[in-house]
Amino acid sequence: MNVLETITRLRVELNQHNYNYYTLDNPTISDYDFDIKLKELQELEAKHPEFFDENSPTLRVGGTITKNFETVMHEYRMYSLDNSYSKEDLQDWEIRCKKIVGDVAIQYTCELKYDGASISITYENGLLKRAVTRGDGFQGDDVTNNIKTIKAVPIKLKGDYPEKFDIRGEIVLPFAGFEKMNQDLIEIGETPYSNPRNTASGSLKLQDSAEVAKRPLDCLLYSIIGNNLDLNTQDEALQKARDWGFKVPNQSKLAKNLEEVFQFIDYWDVHRHDLPYETDGVVVKVNLIQYQNELDYTAKSPRWAMAYKFKSEQVSTILNSISYQVGRTGAITPVANLEPVQLAGTIVKRASLHNADQIEKLDVRLHDTVFVEKGGEIIPKIIAVDLTQRKPNSEPTKYITNCPECNTELVRIEGEANHYCPNFYGCPPQIIGRIQHYISRKAMDIEGLGGETVALLFNAGLVSNYADLYELQKEQIIPLERMAEKSAENLVKGVQDSKNVPFERVLYALGIRYVGETVAKKLAKHYKNIDAIAKASLMDLVLVDEIGEKIAQSVVMFFENQENRLIIERLKNYGVQLEINAENDTSVSDKLKGKIFVVSGVFEIYSRDDLKKAIEANGGKVGSSISSKTDYVIAGDNMGPSKLEKANKLNVSIINEFQFNDLLNG
Ligand code: AMP
Ligand code: ZN
């Protein structure tokens, strides 16, 4: 088999696996084997730029940067939908339809109304050509590179598709993925996203498509548009779209009459809470395309479709009190304690209030009657106060000024939403939270020790930081609640075993604010050991790829602290891994040793990631912005003019990817 054949075979295979996994939910290969094949293809493509294909599955990982999204006209306008809120509304609508198409039996397709960001994707000769946001309905932004990273969007179609058409759908962020993203943010002390819909639509406009690729977005399709499509009904269109490889949720249903439409609505009004993503209604469409054509459009929306909006589930109840929780990083979260009330099938006792601004905006006061709503999040939120029920002597809520756990005065950093308790070393939930983070699965993964036991150990005065764990003796642990000889032994053994955990995970485990898993990896790789990181200046840190000022500042602050330095010294003495293990080091040469590179623009033979990998693997460093310390700028297409100017001004060598290749091989 020649190279092109191998490349083609891998592309076909990987596309099929993506389809099985993301569209059919039915993978037939392990993630590991998938990655191996993907790597193989990536390597072949890098070696053979002549076989580049803008539709290769390797582009799913992203890596292109879009500074300004190009505005494009929609060939077919993207209309809104008329809304209805009751069955009577729908009956009236049917009467209006019959005035136009005549007194005939009308069939409808019922689909769920997915709550995300709408997208219009153009396919030509079975290939994804362009994806455009809705914009104002007439023109939107070209977000093709970002959309290509969403694995459920087919890049190449199957079967008997029309030569050219647009397909419309909704980009959604399923709850599970959304929760996971927020979990990761909370873990590093960042503010979580407020809801899946905004996060999905924000994702489409991210400049770095590699960032989009990391987000667990999905794309659900619902409409095909074009000339001479040879489609007779909406139902048939949905089925065809499925056949061509699109993800069209199969909850959609053909209803013979309005009665069946109502049954669909009643069913999903209850069961929509079981779906993996957010829906806010049902879209009812006249099934026959011929009728659709006769009904046509108003200035704003099709006359042949109607959205039926579910009533959002809301109840009113009384706010009994507000309590304040202190997180691992000291962030304070206010929580509303409510008079228990039934909402969407569960009893609600608590609701989130987010932060001081939110409390002020809602102007919620103790003993107010409040409206509570269940959105995508697990914990419901207060959306408004029923002012008609307010007690005459009520007073505005005063946000706490001191930590509820240690009474230290709270601080609020300019530009941040949350208050913090600055008593890093004396505030119990912060101490316990830090140790819990240290032992957690993605960090040191200490077997035989759980979060509750950490609290027990702390309360018994046995540990007050994670270094203390390494001093624990079996005899000290046994007397604790629910502990026995065996469990105490396991705990001590688990702690000792953690000395084998590699440096990058130890660095993450330290719980430095904003240093999540990815940042920890970057820092470990760049500096190789803890002492180098501790010594690094702010200036030096921000030159590391992907390390921004906020992270750099937090790292510097962490190591400036005497107490942290002592703890780290102790960890070192216990034998915890505080430097990169030579065996795990992936450098292949020292050729670029000491050289600092900045990568800018779009490349032909390398992806940006590959370039960065190659630099680091050969001893160089990747900086994020051009400074006098930069040795080389590797410039691709579309390098920004301001960068060019800066590089010239500072006399930094500008090379292209081929010259970089020579540098490596020469
Ligand atoms: P609205 O924004 O309320 O005018 O509703 C129109 C939007 O609903 C469209 O732009 C689509 O993005 C979205 N939508 C979600 N699901 C569907 C569906 N099954 N059929 C048509 N539109 C849908
Ligand atoms: Zn405190």
- What CATH number should be reported for the domain holding residue 42? 1.10.287.610
> Residue 413 domain-assigned?
no
pLDDT tens digit sequence for 380-415: 889 899 999 998 889 999 999 999 999 999 999 887
Q: How far is the CA of 378 from the centre of ligand 1 (A)?
A: 25
Q: What is the reported pLDDT for 127?
A: 94
Contacts of 447 (CB under 8 A, 6+ apart): 490, 493, 494, 497
Reply yes or no on whether the pLDDT at 29 is more than 90.
no
Q: Are residues 97 and 219 in the same domain?
A: yes
Residues 6+ apart with CB under 8 A from 8: none
Same domain, 136 and 26: no
- Of residues 625 and 287, more confidence is placed in 287
Classify residue 404: in a domain, yes or no.
no
What are the residues facing 167 on neighbouring strands? Answer: 121, 224
How far is Cα of residue 307 from the mean position of the Cα atoms in its chain? 28
Q: How far is CA 326 from the centre of its chain?
A: 25
Tell which of 500, 534, 556 closes a domain.
500
- Single-letter residue type at 542: V
Residues whose beta carbon lies within 6 Å of some atom of ligand 1: 80-81, 111, 113-114, 118, 134, 170, 222, 283, 307
- Tens of pLDDT, residues 220-255: 999 999 998 989 999 999 999 999 999 999 999 999
Q: Kind and range of the H or E element at 130?
A: strand 127-133
Helices (H), 313-450: 356-362, 428-439
Q: In the listed set 288, 309, 330, which residue is the last one of a domain according to the structure?
A: 309
What digits encode the pLDDT tens for the residues 202-221? 999 998 898 899 999 999 99
Task: Give the closest residue (by CA) to ligand 1 atom 18.
Answer: 113
pLDDT digits (tens, 9 = 90+) for 575-594: 999 998 765 555 567 788 88
With a cut of 90, say whether residue 487 has pLDDT above it: yes
Tokens of 272: 């929509």
> Which range marks the domain in which residue 12 is found?
3-61
Examine the domain organization and report whether 266 and 135 are in the same domain.
yes
Longest distance between any two alpha carbons in the chain, whole Å: 88
> Average pLDDT for residues 52-59, to the nearest whole number?
87
293 and 350 part of one domain: no
Residue 141 belongs to some domain of the structure = yes
Report the residue among 108, 118, 280 best suited for mutation to probe ligand 1: largest number of ligand atoms under 8 A from its CB. Answer: 118
- From 170, 246, 261, 309, mutation site for ligand 1 pocket: most ligand atoms within 8 A of C-beta: 170
Which ligand minimizes its atom distance to the CA of 408?
A: 2
Instruction: Give me the pLDDT at residue 622, please.
Output: 87
Q: Give the contacts of 609 (CB within 8 A, at least 6 positions apart).
A: 61, 63, 210
User: Mean pLDDT lowest for which of 55-59, 401-405, 457-461?
Assistant: 55-59
Confidence of residue 662 (pLDDT cuts 50, 70, 90): confident
481 and 456 in contact (C-beta within 8 Å)? yes
> What pLDDT score was predicted for residue 63?
76
Number of C-beta neighbours around residue 87 at 10 A: 15
Q: Which ligand has its closest atom nearest to the C-alpha of 225?
A: 1
299 and 334 assigned to the same domain: no
Q: Does pLDDT of 533 surpass 80?
A: yes
Joined tokens for residue 358: 């939110």
Q: Which ligand is nearest to the CA of 400?
A: 2
CATH of the domain at 640: 3.40.50.10190
Could you give the C-alpha distances from 496 to 58, 467, 489, 492, in angstroms and in order? 42, 12, 11, 6
Q: Are residues 350 and 254 in the same domain?
A: no
Mutate which of 110, 112, 113 for ligand 1 pocket (most atoms within 8 A of beta carbon): 113
Is residue 219 within 8 A of residue 80, CB to CB? The reply is no
The whole-number pLDDT of residue 360 equals: 92
Same domain, 646 and 522: no
- Shared-domain flag, residues 144 and 257: yes
Mean pLDDT across 471-499:
93
Q: Looking at the structure, tell me whether residues 451 and 543 fall in a common domain.
A: no
Query: Does the structure show a pLDDT above 70 at 189?
Result: no
Whether 66 is in a domain gets the answer: no
Q: What residue type is 68 in one-letter code? A: N
Tell me phi and psi for residue 226, to 5 degrees: 165, -175
Select from 250, 283, 309 the last residue of a domain.
309
Q: What is the pLDDT of residue 152?
A: 94
Higher-confidence position of 590 and 176: 176
Choose, from 37, 113, 158, 247, the residue flagged as catalytic.
113
Distance CA 111, CA 496 (A): 56
Place of tokens 């000290």: 476
In a domain, 257, yes or no: yes
Count the alpha carbons within 13 Å of 20 in the hemisphere toward its beta carbon. Answer: 13
Ligand 1 center from residue 113 Cα (angstroms): 6
* Ligand at shortest distance from the CA of 327: 2
The alpha carbon of 409 and the centre of ligand 2 are apart by a number of angstroms equal to 8
3-state secondary structure of 114: strand
The whole-chain average pLDDT of the chain stands at 90
Ligand 1 atom closest to Cα of residue 81: 4
Looking at residue 553, which CATH number applies to its domain? 1.10.150.20
CA-closest candidate to residue 510, choices 498, 492, 497: 498
User: Taking 80 as the threshold, does the pLDDT of residue 194 lie above it?
Assistant: no
What tens digit of pLDDT does each residue of 298-329 get?
989 999 999 998 877 788 999 999 999 998 88
Smallest CA separation from ligand 1 atom 9, residue? 80
Continuous H helices in 329-377: 356-362
Residue 593: C-alpha distances to residues 532, 615, 621, 663 (Å): 16, 9, 8, 12
In a domain? residue 213: yes
Any alpha helices (H) in 589-656, and if so which ranges? 608-617, 641-649
Q: Domain check: are 546 and 651 in the same one?
A: no
Residue 316: predicted pLDDT: 92
User: Has residue 651 been placed in a domain?
Assistant: yes
Are 199 and 260 in a shared domain? yes
Whether residue 419 is contained in a domain is answered as: no
Angstrom distance (rounded) from CA 247 to CA 569: 54
Report the atom number in ligand 1 closest to the C-alpha of 78.
10
pLDDT at 258: 96
Of 158, 159, 124, give the one whose Cα is nearest residue 144: 124
Please indicate, yes or no, whether residues 265 and 381 belong to a single structural domain of this protein: no
Higher pLDDT, 126 or 23: 126
For residue 175, count CB atoms less than 10 angstroms from its CB and return exposed for 0-12, middle for 13-18, buried for 19 or more: middle
Neighbours of 336 (CB within 10 A): 26
How many structural domains compose the chain?
6
H-helix segments, 2-139: 3-18, 31-47, 87-101
> Which of 218, 79, 199, 65 has its CA nearest to residue 147?
218
Shortest-distance atom of ligand 1 to CA 83: 3
Question: Is residue 612 annotated as part of the catalytic site, yes or no?
Answer: no
* Residues contacting 437, CB < 8 A, separation 6+: 187, 328, 443, 509, 511
Give residue-wise pLDDT tens across range 375-387: 655 678 898 999 9
Distance from the alpha carbon of residue 115 to the mean position of ligand 1, in angstroms: 8
Hey, what amino acid is at 660? F
